Amino acid sequence: MRKFGHLTILVNDYDEALEFYTAKLGFIKKSDNQFGKGNRWLTVAPPDQTDLEIIFVKADTTEKQAIVGKQASDHVFLTLQTDDCQRDFKMMKEKGVRFLGEPAEQFYGTEVVFEDLYGNRFDLIQVAEGPHDE
């Protein structure tokens, strides 16, 4: 094994997920292909991300629909690293992204938790320089 390549997020609608992740989070669409019976290979990633993409998978069963937005329960599902947490917090908040607090300093950096359009939690983090084992 060498590395992760894709990560799946269950969505209610491909286009609404694409709109949120591109317009509000600043991600870019990496691929968008139709296949099979109404299936779609739709991926996004942050602009500087070259080795990992998020795949949107439509929740097409009751089991999948039950966990849309709860893929990690009430824990952070993914972390999104930034070089300026305060800047990105302000920009994303102005675009309507729901945050669960204000950026706070931790021993490992500055962080704040936000939710995607379905309620999946993400940690926006600006990693501190230097040792993180305090």
Per domain, the residue ranges of the chain are: 1-67, 69-134
Alpha carbon separation from 76 to 2, 55, 73, 100, 111 (Å, rounded): 25, 18, 8, 11, 12
Mean pLDDT computed over 20-49: 94
Pairing label, strands 109-115, 121-127: antiparallel
Query: For residue 29, which phi and psi values (nearest 5 degrees)?
Result: -75, 125
Give per-residue pLDDT as tens, 50-105.
Answer: 899 999 999 999 999 999 999 999 999 999 999 999 999 999 999 999 999 999 99
Mean model confidence pLDDT for the chain: 94
pTM score, two decimals? 0.90
Among 97, 95, 134, residue whose Cα is nearest residue 113: 97
pLDDT the model gives residue 37: 82
CATH dotted code for 1-67: 3.10.180.10
DSSP 83: S
Q: Are 47 and 23 in contact (CB under 8 A)?
A: no
Q: Which class is 69-134 in CATH?
A: alpha beta
Lowest-pLDDT choice from 25-29, 37-41, 113-117: 37-41
The Cα-based distances of 44 to 31, 54, 105 in angstroms read 7, 5, 29
* Percentage with pLDDT > 70 across the chain: 96
- What per-residue confidence (pLDDT) applies to 131? 61
